[in-house]
Structures are given as structure tokens and as C-alpha cells.
Amino acid sequence: MPELVVTALLAPSRLTLKLLRALMWSLVFSTALVTAAVYGCIALTHVLCRPRRGCCGHSRSVVPTCLSDPSLGEHDFLTLKSSGLRLHYVSAGRGNGPLMLFLHGFPENWFSWRYQLREFQSRFHVVAVDLRGYWPSDAPRKVDCYTTDLLMTDIQDVIQGLGYSKCVLVGHDWGGLLAWNFSIYYPALVERLVVSSAPPMSVYQDYSLRHISQFFRSHYVFLFQLPWLPEKLLSMSDFQILKTTLSHRKTGIPHLTPNELEAFLYGFTQPGGLVGPLNYYRNLFRNFPLEPQELSTRTLLLWGEKDTYLEPGLVGATSSRFVPGRLEAHILPGVGHWVPQSNPEEMHQYMWTFLQDLLD
């Protein structure tokens, strides 16, 4: 068929897609402005209630002691083959079994896997990495440095750079989104997948379009599409919004000590420390709309029934995309968003059972 005819036949579809994307971006930025106004009021209230803290965040100069706890493993850096970036990671149990690689969410870092590092180092080589953009890993500032393709290549380079051809990949929140994508991009490198509090991106997209309640739960995503303003709002009153997110009595991480809270905040308080993490969100809509994908990697999915940010209905929506018999999903009653930290013993029991045949 002549190229001119093909172009003419495809023109209506291309025009429709362009119009759909234009509509999507107008909606995203309109919602972002409204959300920014709400968060601006919240940040200003924090400043007025705590005037001694001032309007800006204060950079920490002393690293919290819990970040150097020797029971969690050894600290090291890995230079990635593809990008040349240096990523920080904590490693324990080398030589004890297969590689178990942990990917954290936001606003977190490698320390969010402290319970799992202790639990699984006896039978696995456990590695918790600080993703690109998160202190002390390298943090390019451009939004284009945080596309899905680049982040997938990072994970591939970490696995191979550590000397392995496959791994048990474990992710929470943003780390879970990356883990889902990686199992689709590089299925041969993922022996098993364990995900907590994160759906595949295509499932999240379709579910949110049909459930307005999930749209409202994800309101902060729209704020983070804006340049520089989110960084400013999150840092006001010495990072009070982040403090509340992590330590709120009902929705935060239970029993988080002041030292542990500072372990999460430390990297974000460094100059430019929020730019990289928020650039992940600024790439969320880059490939909209996403095509539905059939999932086949053997996966354990753990979900908190009381998750503040993600509805339990996403579990059923994820199950509908799976090859039968490949997904084991559990909704934990009364549990919130921070499953690896709030309910580590329950998570560990499910993981040991799910992974037992790898160790026999």
C-alpha cells in the first residue's frame, strides 16, 4: 500500500490521540493549580503555627545514627554501565543465596527496607538501593533524566553490576511501580516479584478513569507536575508536610522514632534534594494513554486495606490482567500504606512461603 494512502488512513487516529493528550494535559495542569492552592494554604498554616521554623527548610549537617546501623549491611556505590551514574546501596548476606533487590518509594530511601534487610540476609543476598535522584546517589536535575526507559535501564545495570543474571525484585510505592514495569520490560531478569502498595501503571490509569474516588486520593500527583513550587511547599516550616506524611498518627508509619524520621528527611533537606524524587512524578503522564498489558511474572502482591493513597479495588483490577495462577494477592485488614514498615512480620511470613521453593 502506498505510503501516502497509509498516512491518510492513520491521520484520524493520530489527530484523535493528539486531541486526547491535549485534553489530558489541560486537565492535569488545571487540577495542579487547584491542588497547589490547597497545599499552599496547608504550608502557610504550618508556618503561622510554627513561626520559629521560618518559611524554608533547614539543611541537616549530621547524618542520623540509624543510617549507619551495621546490622543492616554494608554501604557501597555502584557505577551504572549505561549512564555512568553512581547509585548508593546497602548490602548484606552476599553468598547466602539469590539476589533480593529492594526498590523504595517516596518520600523514602533504602532505610525503608531495614526490617527486610535483617530478615532475609540469612538466605539471600539482600540489596536496598537508593534510586537515582535520592541522596547520596547521583541526582541529575533535568526531568528527562527520569523517564521510564532510563529507570528500567538503571535496575538492569544494578542487577548485572552486582554480578547476577536475575533476582527476586521487591518494590513498595514508587518502587513497586518500577518493579511492575521492569517485570514487563525484562522478564528474564525477574525470577519472582514482590510488590506492596502499588499497581501496574496501565491498571492505575484505567482504574482512575473509572473511579473518581481514586482520582481524589492521588491529588498530590497533580501538584508535583508543576515546576519548583512543589519543592518549595514541601520544604516550608522545615519540611512539615513531609514530616506529617511520614509520622501522622493515623496515616503515617506507625511507631516511627524521631531518629528514623530524620533518616528519611536527611536526603531531602540537602540542596536540591527534592528535585530528583519529584521528577519521577513529572514523567507519569508522558506516555498517556497506556496500552493494557498481560502480566505473567510470578508475583506476590500485598495491599493495606486502609491505604490512604490507593484503593483496594486496584488489587482486583490488577488480578484481571494476570495469566491465571501467576498472582498471589493479599489485602491486609486494618493496614495502611506503609506495609514493609508497619507490618513487617506479616509481610515476611507471606514472602517466606512465596519464595520457599527457590530455597529448597
Q: Is 281 a catalytic residue?
A: yes
Q: Which of 146, 281, 309, 350 is catalytic?
A: 281
Distance CA 144, CA 168 (A): 28
* CB-CB contact of 312 with 305 (8 Å): yes
Report CA-CA distances (Å) from 60 to 64, 129, 146, 197. 9, 21, 26, 30
Rg (CA), the chain: 21
Rounded (10°) angle between helices 174-185 and 148-161 = 80
Q: Is 204 a catalytic residue?
A: no
Q: DSSP letter string over 215-234?
A: HHHTHHHHHTTSSSHHHHHH
Place of cell 488480578: 319
Contacts of 74 (CB under 8 A, 6+ apart): 90, 91, 92
Q: Which of 138, 154, 157, 173 is catalytic?
A: 173
Residue 5, phi-psi category: left (phi > 0), alpha (psi -120 to 50), beta (remainder): alpha
* CB-CB contact of 68 with 83 (8 Å): no
Q: DSSP letter string over 47-101?
A: HHHSGGG-SS-----S--GGGG-GGG-EEEEEE-TTT--EEEEEEE-TTSSSEEE
**Which alpha helices (H) appear in the chain, and where do they start and end?**
3-49, 114-120, 148-161, 174-185, 201-210, 212-217, 219-223, 229-247, 258-269, 275-281, 313-319, 339-342, 344-359
Q: Is 337 a catalytic residue?
A: yes
Residues known to be catalytic:
173, 281, 337
